[in-house]
Amino acid sequence: MELMLSIDIEKCIRCGKCVKICPSMILGQEKTGGEIRVLAPENCIRCGHCVAVCPTGAVVHADFPPEKVHAFDYKDYPAAEQMMLLCRARRSNRAFAEKPVPEALLSQIVEAAYRAPTASNAQEVGFTLVTDPAKLRLITEFTLGVFGKALKKMRHPLLRPLVKWTMPDALRYEPVFERLLREDAQGHDMILRNAKAVLLIHTPQASRFGCQDANLAYQNGSLMAECLGVSQFYTGFVCSAIQQDRKSHLEKMLGIEGQIHAGMALGMPAFRYVNYIDRLGLRENTL
């Protein structure tokens, strides 16, 4: 394999930080202050920690040329109190205004999401932003279609006992599905609730931690949305319909390769909150 990692010995001060930080033990240093050696570059997961931690720019990595390396100061981080306020006050706001979400805000939300960590630094998460009203409607119709089919099975005298036996939980949703379909027929989309955009987060089918990776991306994106004054909620109904469908119909209709794991409905808020409230109770154990 082509060597994509080297140490510029002119710049290296042999502090050993790159050796200690590397998750794959690619770099070695025999003794404190000794020369840094590249031992097994083929094990590199391309996380860039070695480059990010080097105080002198001595780590040369093909994936991280100077234009991809940005000096920053921890002093510019949000203060802990600001972060805590964000955690306390953020909401799933479903009361959207009629105006669209400006593109510049949507791109910042996507960037925040794409910067989330991924298992083994796989970086296989894909993002599809849907803003076309016809395609948004398609998402709702797909979801209600799946729920409608489930209802039919639940109401069928022969299939009902089977559903009860194989998916005892499913029957709990009977009244929910009925209501969603009834409301939609009356012009109230309870699936996307008049969202002006939906960010679908997906990974290739074979992705081992696809669901976890996608949902971590979701949370980054949703907190960014909150900071930008954009409202969002998790499209759980859509995701549950995708899981029930099992044939990737929605992915195919939208031209998405792989599997959708999370979806963020987005819109500008019709109004803002004035209070944050406490959750029901913190379930915490210390062992």
Ligand X SMILES: Cc1cc2nc3c(=O)[nH]c(=O)nc-3n(C[C@H](O)[C@H](O)[C@H](O)COP(=O)(O)O)c2cc1C
Whole-angstrom Cα distance, residue 197 to residue 130?
Answer: 5
Contact residues toward ligand X (CB under 6 A) are: 91-92, 94, 233-237
Cβ proximity to ligand X, 173 vs 234, nearer residue: 234
CA trace torsion 13, 14, 15, 19 (10° rounding): 140
Residue 53 Cβ vs ligand X, minimum distance, rounded to whole Å: 34
Whole-angstrom Cα distance, residue 36 to residue 99?
Answer: 56
Residue 146 Cβ vs ligand X, minimum distance, rounded to whole Å: 13
Q: Which residue is nearest to ligand X (CB)?
A: 236
Whole-angstrom Cα distance, residue 29 to residue 37?
Answer: 6
Residue 223 Cβ vs ligand X, minimum distance, rounded to whole Å: 12
Cβ proximity to ligand X, 96 vs 233, nearer residue: 233
Cβ proximity to ligand X, 38 vs 230, nearer residue: 230
Cβ proximity to ligand X, 40 vs 211, nearer residue: 211
Q: Which two tokens stand for residue 15?
A: 């502090």
Residue 234 Cβ vs ligand X, minimum distance, rounded to whole Å: 4
Residue 21 Cβ vs ligand X, minimum distance, rounded to whole Å: 33
Over its C-alpha atoms, the chain yields an Rg (Å, rounded) of 24
Cβ proximity to ligand X, 140 vs 235, nearer residue: 235
DSSP-assigned letters across all residues of 180-226? HHHHHHTT--TTTTT-SEEEEEEE-TT-TTHHHHHHHHHHHHHHHHH
Whole-angstrom Cα distance, residue 32 to residue 250?
Answer: 56
